[in-house]
Chain A
Amino acid sequence: RKEVEQDPGPFNVPEGATVAFNCTYSNSASQSFFWYRQDCRKEPKLLMSVYSSGNEDGRFTAQLNRASQYISLLIRDSKLSDSATYLCVVTLTGNQFYFGTGTSLTVIP
Chain B
Amino acid sequence: EAGVAQSPRYKIIEKRQSVAFWCNPISGHATLYWYQQILGQGPKLLIQFQNNGVVDDSQLPKDRFSAERLKGVDSTLKIQPAKLEDSAVYLCASSHYRTGAETQYFGPGTRLLVL
Contact = CB atoms under 8 A, between A and B. Distances in A.
A4 B95 CA distance: 21
Interface string A10-40: 0000000000000000000001101000000
Given A43-B108, A96-B56, A102 B101 contact: no
B87 to A, nearest CB: 15
Interface string A78-109: 00000000010001001111111110000000
Contacts of B42: 4, 6, 87, 99-102
Interface in B25-42: 31, 33, 35, 40-42
Contacts of A32: 100-101
> Which range holds the interface residue count of chain A?
20 to 34
A87 B41 CA distance: 10
B112 interface: no
Contacts of B103: 34, 46, 49
B48 interface: yes
A97 to B, nearest CB: 6
Contacts of A46: 103-104
B48 to A, nearest CB: 6
Contact of A97 (B45, B100, B107, B109): B45
A49 B100 CA distance: 13
A94 B55 contact: yes
B23 interface: no
A54 interface: no
User: Sorted from nearest, which 3 A-B pairs have the closest CB atoms?
Assistant: A32-B101, A43-B106, A99-B42
Interface of B: 31, 33, 35, 40-45, 48, 50, 55-56, 91, 93, 95, 97, 100-104, 106-109
